[in-house]
Amino acid sequence: DGTDYNYSWNCGEEGPSRKKRINDLRLQLCKNALLMTIISGGTPLINAGDEMGHTRKGNNNSWCMDNKLEWIDWVDLEKHKELYEFTKALIRLRKDHPILRQRSFKGSDYKATGLPDISFHGKSAWKVDHENYRRQLAVCFNGDYAEKAEGVPDDSFYIGMNMHWEPHKFYLPRLKEGKRWYMLLDTSASGTAIDEDEPAELKFEDSVRIAPRSIIILIGK
């Protein structure tokens, strides 16, 4: 049902699997999809059940079905608790940081803060890889272009996406003097907490290694 062409991938095995590596990869891809949706501009469109792995068994047009394909099984809330907590953490991150929900960007540093309000990067900072075989992209949000509720500038964010099946090193845009990048989230790692009070320090200040088929969020403080 629905479109005849689906941009989907079964991660190496069709249907339910008992293999840990396949289930781990599927969870990682679910996290990627939720992260890209929640940090996107506009209103994040999340279907009921997405936060607990409700797949509809691959059916892409089940809205009119009154059966197990469409019903939400609340047992999944406990079964997929990691994904549920991950979704909550992302929603909280978006609510806490106005720079992640800006209505518009100009793509320039019109306030002379040192970085554009939004900028795009590839494996090299300031250079997007446009070739059709590339699977890497990064976006940087400059927190100086948004204000928190307490009246102070927001933090900056770097979201690096590596959809390749091999790891890649991404070189980072420099923050203004006195600030540096910290690791806030990595979808390839286990765990769901986003601890803004104690983010992980990067091993190298000018670059970061992104694992295969994963997304990272760096925070600039």
Phi, psi of 59 (to 5 degrees): -75, 125
Q: What is the pLDDT of residues 12-51, one digit of tens each?
A: 998 899 999 999 999 999 999 999 999 998 899 998 899 9
Q: What is the pLDDT of residues 69-94, one digit of tens each?
A: 889 999 999 999 999 999 999 999 99
208 three-state secondary structure: strand
